[in-house]
Amino acid sequence: MYEATVSAPVNIACIKYWGKRDTKLILPTNSSLSVTLDQDHLRSTTTSRVDESFEKGDRLWLNGKEETVKEDGRLGVCIKELRNWRKIEEDKNSSLPKLSQWPLRIASYNNFPTAAGLASSASGLAALVASLAKLYELPQSPSELSLIARQGSGSACRSLFGGYVAWREGSKEDGSDSLAEQVASREDWPEMRALICVVSDLKKGTSSTSGMQRTVETSTLLKERLNIVPGRMEEISKTIKSKDFENFAKITMKDSNSFHSVCLDTSPPIFYLNDVSKSIIQVIEELNRSSGEIIAAYTFDAGPNAVIYSLEKNIGKVLGVINKFFPQAEESKDPFKTKSEDLPESFNQN
Ligand code: DP6
């Protein structure tokens, strides 16, 4: 039996991906840029196995529960493409074991709540692609692998890199230039911190996939957003390279607000922010005003949870105001307490 285990962290976008121009290939209507969080906190870990003796058909467990792998579904497509790449290597070198012909067993865990707007699909699909690439010993670069991860879940292509990552929308119809690349490494700006405020860990009402399609179909404001984003991509990359937190924060907050505005401009409207989310926005705006400089930036994905970016020297101050205005209930003090990552019993059967 051959086995490989890989973990991939969550990434949180500063310039949001929201809208597809091709829903099958997952080609976005705009480029996006994110920060990949630290491996230690929010991550997905995936173990993949192949063996000649496994019963026919691929099987997958997510957080211990078996899920069906549909051949033409997103997962099935990722598996098929990676298998094809393995097959190419086997054809080139006949001494390689024929792993591409054997059934797969895949087990994946998130150490945080799934589908609560905490980008679980991003880390999950990135870990799956990276673990299969390791199992199959593929020679492809992370950017090439991002072409496959993208087809599993758009934002997943960015989780194949650490640090500051751009997903270039590309212009080719076949999607071969819609890939992720690193803009700067974590070490280039190591003072950056992300504070995750879990407002709710319930599954979100409108999934990103269906929500963004509804926005593409019904929002007139989206056209305006699509004119603005290319400039923002340029500007935010410059702020990262020059470690200009003030402008990084301004762009991040503006883009989060722009994304939630197009959600509101969708018919029927999509509300991801709740009253607590809106209070967090007000508290951070007030913190920045009273500090006389911008020391924190909020951003919200497809859910009410806030991510607050700040520099290490200011994170204590940010935590102070958050704890003051949003005292935590005793039982939710550590929502990220690592869940069991034991492999499910059934994973060990054939
Ligand atoms: C708001 O990547 O989950 O988090 O491609 O349909 O799987 P699919 O969508 P997904 O959308 C993420 C949307 C977002 C913004 C972002 O991460 O850029």
Kindly write down the DSSP assignment for every residue of 103-166, as one continuous string: PEEEEEEESS-TTSSS-HHHHHHHHHHHHHHHHTT----HHHHHHHHHHH-GGGGGGGSSSEEE
pLDDT at 337: 55
- For residue 348, pLDDT beyond 90: no
Chain CA centroid to CA 162, Å: 12
- State the distance from the centre of ligand 1 to the C-alpha of 286, rounded, in angstroms: 29
> pLDDT tens, 257-305?
999 999 999 999 999 999 999 999 999 999 999 999 999 999 999 999 9
Judge if the beta carbon of residue 61 lies within 6 A of ligand 1: no
Q: Which tokens is 116 given?
A: 């609560």
Q: What percent of the chain has pLDDT over 70?
A: 93
What is the predicted pLDDT for the residue at 115?
Answer: 47
The mean pLDDT value of the chain amounts to 93
64: left (phi over 0), alpha (psi -120 to 50) or beta: left
Query: Residue 339: is its pLDDT beyond 60?
Result: no
Q: For residue 113, is pLDDT > 80?
A: no
| Rounded (10°) angle between helices 74-92 and 120-135 | 20
| Distance separating alpha carbons of residues 180 and 185, to the nearest angstrom | 14
DSSP 18: -
Give mean pLDDT, residues 49-58: 95
- Sign of the Cα torsion 129, 131, 132, 134 reads positive
Q: Cα separation of 162 and 37, whole Å?
A: 8
Nearest to 263 by CA among 210, 314, 310, 307: 210
What string of DSSP letters covers 51-114? -TTSPSS-EEEETTEEE---TTSHHHHHHHHHHHHHHHHHHH-TTS--GGGSPEEEEEEESS-T
Residue range 43-51: mean pLDDT, rounded: 96
Ligand 1 within 6 A of CB of 301: yes
The CB of 35 under 6 Å from ligand 1? The reply is no
Instruction: Give the full edge-to-edge strand order of the sheet including 32-36.
Output: 11-15, 32-36, 164-167, 180-184
CB of 255 within 6 A of ligand 1: the answer is: no
Quote the ligand 1 centre to 303 CA distance (angstroms): 11
Prediction pTM value: 0.94
pLDDT at 233: 98
Question: What is the reported pLDDT for 122?
Answer: 92
Residue nearest atom 6 of ligand 1, based on CA coordinates: 209
Crossing angle, helix 245-264 and helix 221-241, to 10 degrees? 160
DSSP 339: P
- Strands 2-9 and 27-28, by their bridges, are unpaired
d(CA 113, CA 202): 8
Instruction: Indicate the helix (H) or strand (E) that contains 167.
Output: strand 164-167
Tens digits of residue pLDDT in 211-261: 999 999 999 999 999 999 999 999 999 999 999 999 999 999 999 999 999
Between the CA of 208 and the centroid of ligand 1 the distance, in Å, is 6
